[in-house]
Structure 1
Amino acid sequence: MLSKTVTVNNQAITLEIGRFAEQATSAVLVRCGDTVVHVTVVSGQENPALGYFPLTVDYQEKLYASGMIKGSRWVKRDGRPTDEAILRSRLIDRSIRPLFPAGYMKEVQVVATVLSYDSQAYPEILALIGASAALSLSPIPWNGPVGAVRLKDDKLDLVVSGSKEAIVMVEAGGNEAPESDILAKLELGHQEIKKIIQAIEDLVKQAGQKKEVFVKPEINPEIKTQVLAKTKTLIADLIDQVRKSQHEKTADHGLAEIISACVADLPEADPKQIAEIIHEYFREILRHQTLTKKLRVDGRKPDEIRQLSSEVGLLPRTHGSAMFKRGATQALTITTLGSPNLEQLIEDLEGETSKRYIHHYIFPPFSVGECGRIGFPSRREIGHGALAERALEPMLPDETEFPYTIHVVSEIMSSNGSTSMASTCGSTLSLMDAGVPLKKPVAGIAMGLIFKDEKTYVILTDIQGLEDHLGDMDFKVAGTKDGVTALQMDIKISGINFNLLKEALASAKTARLKILDHMLKTLAKPRPHLSPYAPKIVTLNIPVEKIGELIGPGGKTIKKIIKETECQVDVDDDGRVVITGIDSFKLKQAQDWVSGLTREFKVGEEFDGKVVRVEAYGVFVELFPGREGLCHVSRMSTSYVADPHTIAKLGDILHVRIREIDDQGRLSLTCLTSEQEQQVAQNRPSSRHSSFRRNNHRRYSHRQ
C-alpha cells in the first residue's frame, strides 16, 4: 500500500492505493476526516462502431456510510441512485471527459462509492479527486490530472475543477453573487487545486503505470481530396440553408444526405472516413467564419440574442403557466401549488430531509423532431431540472410568508440550444403567473466559445444547438439584475483562463438584463391573487402544550377536523398549524375549529353558541367546534325549569356567559346575567342548592 496526504482548505486529504480492488485497472481510496470514498477505473474493449467515446461515471452513496438502514419496510437494499447522486456523477464526468484524447474509443468506467460519511467533508469532491488520481495512475491515455474544491459561504456555493493551468468545470449556486466575487472564488479555488494536482503527480511518480500510446488514425489524403472535391459546394449550400433555418436538425439532415451521396459516388472508400471528412470540414468552415468574420451560423453577431417571445396564463386550470421562446427553443412551464405536507422527502447520507420547491425538466423526442423513448428521466433531464431549480430557489419567498409546496414542470416544446435557461426564464414567469411572490425575477443565458488560442477566440451570447456542438464551451449563467443565482460551465478543450471567464461573465450579465427587460414587459410583477383552482392556506400558531388537544387521542380530533372540513391540517412541533383547502367556507370552518380547540377561555366571556346536546340536567353548548360547556338547567332561566327541552332544542343558538372554569378546563355556562344569578340565588334554599350542585357535578363529570 502507498499513500499521499495533502492539506486543502485546512483539511487533510489522503490518497491511498493498494488496499482494495486489485483487479480494477486502477483504484484509489480517498479519505478526509471520517469520510471515505473508494474510486475505481476500468478500461474495456474498443468499439469504433459506437461513434462516440463510451465513458461511464457512476457515483454511489451507500446508506451504511452514515450508519443508516433504508426506511422502507419492504426494501432494504440500496436502490437506484438518487437525483443528487446522478448530479454528482455528472460533476465528475464533466471534469474528466474533456481531457481524453479525441478519437479514443475504448470503454472506460469510473465507479465512486462512498464507504463512510462524517457530515463534514464533501464526498463528491473526494470522488472527483479520486477519479483524477485513478485515471492518472492508470495506463489509460488522459491529459490530467485535475483537482477540485468546493467553496461555500452565504452568497455562493461553488464547485470548481481544473488543471494546473486553467479551469475545466464550474458548478455554482448563489444568492445574487456579484460576478467579481465569483471570479475571486475561482482564483482562490484554483490555488487549492494546484496542491491536489501536485500530490497526485507525486503519487504517479511512485506508482503510476505506463501510459498506453494512442494515435488517432489518419485519414487518407487522397480520399479526403476526392471527398471535398465532390462536397465543398454542397456543404456551402447547406451552410446557407442552416443560416436561414432555426431548426437544430437542418444541419444533421443535410450532412446525412451529402454523406450518403458521396458514399455512393466513392464505393471504394470507407464510409466512416467519408463521414468524418465531411463533418470535420463543415465544422472547420463554420468555426473559421466565426473567428475571422465574427459571423455566426445563423448570421447573428457574437453578442446578439435570438428573437424573444413569451406569454403567461396559457392553461386555464393550472395554477400558473408561461411560455418562453428564444429562437427555435421553446419551453412551456407549469406551476402547481400544494399543501406543506406534499413536500418531497429525501433519504440520503444526511438522513431524511425535505424540500418544498421541486423543478422537473422534460425533454421529449418531438422537441428535436425525433422518435424516441418516453418514460424515466435521463441524466441530462435531471441535470437541467436541477440547474433551473437552483437558479430560482434563492428568490422564493420564505416559508412563513408563503407556506406552499411548489412544483414546477418545464416541458420543452422545441429545442435549439439552451433549453435549461429557457426553462429558468419560463419558470420565473410561471411562478409570477401563479401569484408566488418572488423576491426578484430570474433570467438565464447560455454563453459559448470558439477558441483557437489565447489571442484568437470569440465569445458567443445565446448559443444555439449547432454552436454548442461545434464550439468549445457551454457556460450557463442565471440570476437577477443584481447578481448570479446559478452557474454551470462545461468545456471541450483542456481549460479556460480567468480573463476569458471574466469576459464571458460580463457578456452574460448584459444579455441577462436584456432578457429580464423582455420578461417584465410580459408580466411586470407577481399576480396579487392565486388561481381560484389553487388551494388556500391559513397558518396559525398555537401553544405547544395545546398540540395534544388538537391531535386528540390516537389522532381522533385532528382526523375528525380533516374529514368534516375536507381540509388538510398539518401541525409542527413548534405549534405552527397549517390548514390547506380549496373551499373558502370549509377552510374558515377548519380554522375556527382549530382556534376554538386551542383557545384560552376567560370567566365572563360571552358567546352565541349552538346547542349540541340536551339532558335532563341542562344543555351542552358548543362555543367553537370541538369546545363545549354545560349550561345547568338552574341557569337557563330566572324561573324554575322542569325540562330543558322547553327552553332549548338541538341546533338552537343560545347567548351564554362563561361562569366558571374548573381545574380540568371544563366550562360552566349560564344564560343569566350576574344580577339575575344573584336574584335566583336569593330565592333558592341554600341546602337544596348545594345538594343540587354536587349531584349535577357528578353527572357532568360522568358525561365528560
Structure 2
Amino acid sequence: MNQVNQVFETTIAGRKLKGEFGKLGMLSNCALKISYGDTVILINANASDSPREGIDFFPLSIEYQERLYAVGKIPGGFIKREGRPSDKAILNARAIDRPLRPLFPKGYRNDVQVVCTVLSVEQDNLPNILAMNGASLALCLSSIPFTTPVATVAVGLIDGEFVINPTSKQREESSLDLTVCATKDRVMMIEAGGQEIPEDVMYDAIVFGFDECKKIAEFQEKVMKKYGKTKVEAELYEVDETIAKEVKEFAFDMIKESMYLTDKDARNAAKDEVREKVNEEFGQKYPDNAADINEVIYKLEKSLVRNMILNEKRRPDGRGFEEVRSLASEVGILPRTHGSGVFTRGLTQVMSVATLGSISEVQILDGIEEATSKRYMHHYNFPSYSVGEVRPLRGPNRREIGHGALAEKALEPLIPSEDKFPYAIRIVSEVLSSNGSTSQASVCGSTLALLDAGVPIIRPAAGIAMGLVTSDDLQHEEILTDIQGLEDFFGDMDFKVAGTEKGITAIQVDTKISGLSNKCIKKAIHDAREARLSILKVMNECIAEPRKEVSVYAPKVFTLNINPDKIKDVIGAGGKTINKIIDETGVKIDIKDDGAVFVTAEDYASGKRALELIESYSREVVAGEIYLGKVTKISNFGAFVQILPGKEGLVHISKLDVKRVNKVEDIVSVGDEILVKVTDIDSMGRINLSRKDAIKDSEEDNSKENKEEK
C-alpha cells in the first residue's frame, strides 16, 4: 500500500523544524520523522484497542532511545551494541511524560506508548527538545485521543539576554539551562539549572520561553487540523453510579472525620479502619466491583482535602499555607565516611554521605551528549522502609534516577573547580523517612555532607517543594509551601525549587492539570525563596562553612603542572617510569594532556615524595647549570653520569679534572656522586658534561666569597 508522505515545517530561533509522516513506519498509528537542523528523531505513537483491565491509572509509556550511530560512535565494551538506557535517556523520557500525561482524557486507561528514537544529532540542536515537540505532534496526528498540543523550548541567559534554543557554544556561555513546556494557554512543565539565578530573572525567563511555546503550539494545532487522523472515541473508566451513591452515603462522614485528623499516623489508622468498614459493608454485595469501591473512597478523600484547602483555608496538618514543617540538621554522624549529614523536615528525613576520590574516579559517559565525563555524582535511594512498606529491593528505578539528577543539578554549580579542589566527588542520599519532597531534602542533606567533608562549595544550598490546589475552572487557586505527601497526592502541582541565598540553581515543575498561570508561577518562586532562606538558617546553625581539612580517612590530593612535552618522560617506555614511582610511594597518579598532574595518596609524606620524583623526571636539563650527578658507567674515554632521573651525559676524560688525567678510574668510580656542569646539548639531545668546569666555577665562587668577607 502506497503511503502519502505529508511534510510540514516552521522556523524556530532561525532554524528550520521539519516534520514528515506517512512514509516510514507504516504499521504505527503515527510514525513521525522530525528534524531540527541536522538533528533527526523518529517518533512512533501507538495505543491498545481497549482499556487495560484491573488498573487504576493511565498506562502511558514514554521511551527515549539513544542510538550511538547518531553521533558516529560505536558503543564501548565487549558487546558493541546499546544496552539499557543511559541515565540521561531516562531523564529525557520522564521529561516528555510529565507535560503529556495530564492532557489525556480523565479515565482513559488504554495502553499508550510513544517511542522516540534518536537517529542523528547536531550538538547545536538538542535532541531532547526536539523529541518533546515531536512526541506531542505524533500524538496529535494519530487517532489516539490527545488533542492539546504541547510545545517545548530551551532558554539560555547570556550577558543578560535570553536566548531560545541556544547553540552548543551559547550553552557554554549561558548561566541558565531552562526548559519550558507549554500549551498555547498555560505552562505545563519546567526544568531548570542555573548559576544562582535571581527569582525575578528566572520568572522572566520562564515567561520568555512560554511566549515562544505559544507560537509552536499554534503551529502544531494547524498541522493536526490539516493532516491529523480522526480521533477514536475514548472508552473512559467510570464508577458505577449506584455504587458511588451507596458508598458515599455510608462512608462520607467517617472519611471526613479521618481526613481532618492532623496527625499522620492517626489519620492513616482511621482511613484504614474506614476502608475495612466499607469492605465489610459492600464486599459481598459487590464482589466484582472492588476497584469501583476503592475509586469512590479515593475521590471522596481527594474532594475533602481539596475543599479543606480551597474553601476552609486549612491544611491537613493544621499548618499555615506558607509555613515550613519543623526542621533539624546534623553532621558527622558516621565515623569512617568522608562527610555525612542528616536533614529532617517534618516526617521527611534524608541522610547524605559524601565520598572523595581521585580524579581518575570520575564517571565516564558513553552517550550522544557532548559531555564525556562527570566529576560530581549524586545518587538517590528510596527504599520501601522509608514509607513503612515491605517491597523487594531492586536497582534504582526511574524516579530514583530522576531525583538524584535533580539534586545533582541543584548542587553542581556550587562545586569548586578541579584546580581549587582536585577531587572526584560522590554523594549518596538515603531516604530514611518520606512524607513529601525527599528530592529537596536530599539537596539539604547533601549540602551538610559536603560541608562536613571539607568541600569548599561556593555557598550552601537548600530546596523546597511548593504545591497547588485549584478549583475545577482553574479560577481559584491556593499555593502551599512545603507540601507533604497527602497534599502532593491530592494536589495539582509539585513545584520544586533549590538554590542558595543568592539565587536559584534548579527547578523542576510537574502538573496534574492543564497547566499553570503566570501568577501561580511567580508566587511559587517567591514563596519558595522565603522558605529556602528559613531552611538555610537552620542548616547554618548546624554547620556554616566547610571543614578546614578533609577527613583523615579521605585521600590526600597533590597537584603539579609539568611541561606537556615531558609527559612521556614521566610515564616512561611502556609505563616503566610512572609504575616505578607508584610502586615506591603507593600513590595514584593521573596526568592530563595539558601537563596537569594529580597525585592521590593516603598520607602527606608519600604524596610529597611522589611529587618530588615526578618533578625530577620532568625537569629540563639546562646548558650552563651545575648538577650533582651519579657515575653509572666508566669507559676508556670518559664517565657517564646521571644528573636527573632518565637524564645521563658523558664527561670526557679531558673534562674530568683541572689537571691531566691518564686513567678515568684515577678520578671516579661507578656509584660516585660528583658535581658536573652541562657544557652542551647537541641536536640529537646528547648531553656533554664537565667536572673540570664545575670545579673551576666552584673555585671562582669561593674566591668571590673570600673577597667579600675581607
TM-score above 0.5: yes
Residue of structure 2 aligned with 1:286, choices 300, 305, 310: 305
Higher mean C-alpha displacement, 177-186 vs 494-503? 177-186
Matched residue SS, 1:159: strand
Residue of structure 1 aligned with 2:411, choices 359, 378, 392: 392
Residue of structure 2 aligned with 1:424, choices 438, 443, 456: 443
Residue of structure 2 aligned with 1:268, choices 271, 281, 285: 285
Matches within 5 A, 1:675-694: 675=696
- Counterpart amino acid of 1:275? N
C-alpha offsets along residues 473-503 of structure 1, whole Å, 9 cap, x if unaligned? 0000011111111010000000101011001
Residue of structure 2 aligned with 1:205, choices 225, 238, 253: 225
Map of 2:170 onto structure 1? none
Residue of structure 1 aligned with 2:75, choices 51, 70, 85: 70
1:195 and 2:199 aligned: no
Q: Assess, with a 3 A threshold, how the Cα gap between structure 1 residues 666 and 323 changes in structure 2: closer, same or farther.
A: farther
Matches within 5 A, 1:366-515: 366-452=385-471, 453-515=473-535
1:92 and 2:113 aligned: no
- Is this contact kept in 2: 1:592–1:624, CA < 8 A? no
- Counterpart amino acid of 1:67? G
Matched residue SS, 1:348: coil
Residue of structure 1 aligned with 2:118, choices 114, 118, 124: 114
CA RMSD of aligned residues (A): 2.8
C-alpha offsets along residues 314-336 of structure 1, whole Å, 9 cap, x if unaligned? 11111111111111111111111
Map of 2:161 onto structure 1? none
Map of 2:328 onto structure 1? 309
Map of 1:80 onto structure 2? 84
Matches within 5 A, 1:656-671: 656-658=675-677, 660=679, 662-663=681-682, 664=685, 666=687, 668=689, 670=691
- Is this contact kept in 2: 1:593–1:624, CA < 8 A? no
Matches within 5 A, 1:35-54: 35-44=39-48, 45-54=50-59
Matched residue SS, 1:447: strand
- Is this contact kept in 2: 1:659–1:670, CA < 8 A? no
Q: Aligned equivalents of 2:429 and 2:36: distance in 1?
A: 38
C-alpha offsets along residues 539-586 of structure 1, whole Å, 9 cap, x if unaligned? 211122222212222222122222222212222222222222112211
> Deviation of residue 292 (structure 1)?
2.1
Higher mean C-alpha displacement, 131-140 vs 388-397? 131-140
Q: Assess, with a 3 A threshold, how the Cα gap between structure 1 residues 316 and 645 changes in structure 2: closer, same or farther.
A: farther
Q: Aligned equivalents of 1:117 and 1:475: distance in 2?
A: 31
C-alpha offsets along residues 60-91 of structure 1, whole Å, 9 cap, x if unaligned? 1111112222132x212211111111110011
> Deviation of residue 148 (structure 1)?
0.8
1:593 and 2:613 aligned: yes
Higher mean C-alpha displacement, 441-450 vs 179-188? 179-188
Map of 1:224 onto structure 2? 244
- Counterpart amino acid of 1:339? S
Q: Aligned equivalents of 2:244 and 2:453: distance in 1?
A: 58
| TM-score normalised by L of structure 2 | 0.88
Q: Assess, with a 3 A threshold, how the Cα gap between structure 1 residues 213 and 260 changes in structure 2: closer, same or farther.
A: farther
Matched residue SS, 2:505: strand
C-alpha offsets along residues 368-421 of structure 1, whole Å, 9 cap, x if unaligned? 112223232101011111101111111111112112111111111111110110
1:5 and 2:25 aligned: no
Higher mean C-alpha displacement, 481-490 vs 656-665? 656-665
> Deviation of residue 146 (structure 1)?
0.9
- Counterpart amino acid of 1:89? A
- Is this contact kept in 2: 1:619–1:644, CA < 8 A? no
Q: Assess, with a 3 A threshold, how the Cα gap between structure 1 residues 635 and 495 changes in structure 2: closer, same or farther.
A: same
Matched residue SS, 1:529: coil
> Deviation of residue 625 (structure 1)?
5.2
Matches within 5 A, 1:9-48: 9-44=13-48, 45-48=50-53
Count of paired positions: 671
Map of 1:543 onto structure 2? 563
Residue of structure 1 aligned with 2:317, choices 287, 292, 298: 298
C-alpha offsets along residues 228-252 of structure 1, whole Å, 9 cap, x if unaligned? 34323432342254x213x6xx756
Q: Aligned equivalents of 1:630 and 1:297: distance in 2?
A: 88
- Is this contact kept in 2: 1:448–1:462, CA < 8 A? yes
Map of 2:160 onto structure 1? none
Residue of structure 2 aligned with 1:175, choices 187, 195, 201: 195
Matched residue SS, 1:50: coil
C-alpha offsets along residues 154-191 of structure 1, whole Å, 9 cap, x if unaligned? 22111111111100001111111122222222222222
- Is this contact kept in 1: 2:626–2:694, CA < 8 A? no
Higher mean C-alpha displacement, 563-572 vs 218-227? 218-227
What 5-or-longer segments of structure 1 have no aligned partner? 680-704
Q: Aligned equivalents of 1:410 and 1:648: distance in 2?
A: 64
What 5-or-longer segments of structure 2 have no aligned partner? 158-173, 701-710
C-alpha offsets along residues 94-146 of structure 1, whole Å, 9 cap, x if unaligned? 01001112211111111011111222212112111111111112222224111
| TM-score normalised by L of structure 1 | 0.89
Matched residue SS, 1:347: coil
Q: Assess, with a 3 A threshold, how the Cα gap between structure 1 residues 637 and 531 changes in structure 2: closer, same or farther.
A: farther
- Counterpart amino acid of 2:141? L
Residue of structure 2 aligned with 1:158, choices 162, 167, 178: 178
> Deviation of residue 678 (structure 1)?
8.0
Map of 1:531 onto structure 2? 551
Q: Assess, with a 3 A threshold, how the Cα gap between structure 1 residues 303 and 662 changes in structure 2: closer, same or farther.
A: same
Q: Aligned equivalents of 2:642 and 2:332: distance in 1?
A: 45
Matched residue SS, 1:578: strand
- Is this contact kept in 2: 1:638–1:676, CA < 8 A? no
- Counterpart amino acid of 2:408? E
Q: Aligned equivalents of 1:462 and 1:435: distance in 2?
A: 29
Map of 1:682 onto structure 2? none
- Is this contact kept in 2: 1:604–1:659, CA < 8 A? yes
1:259 and 2:275 aligned: yes
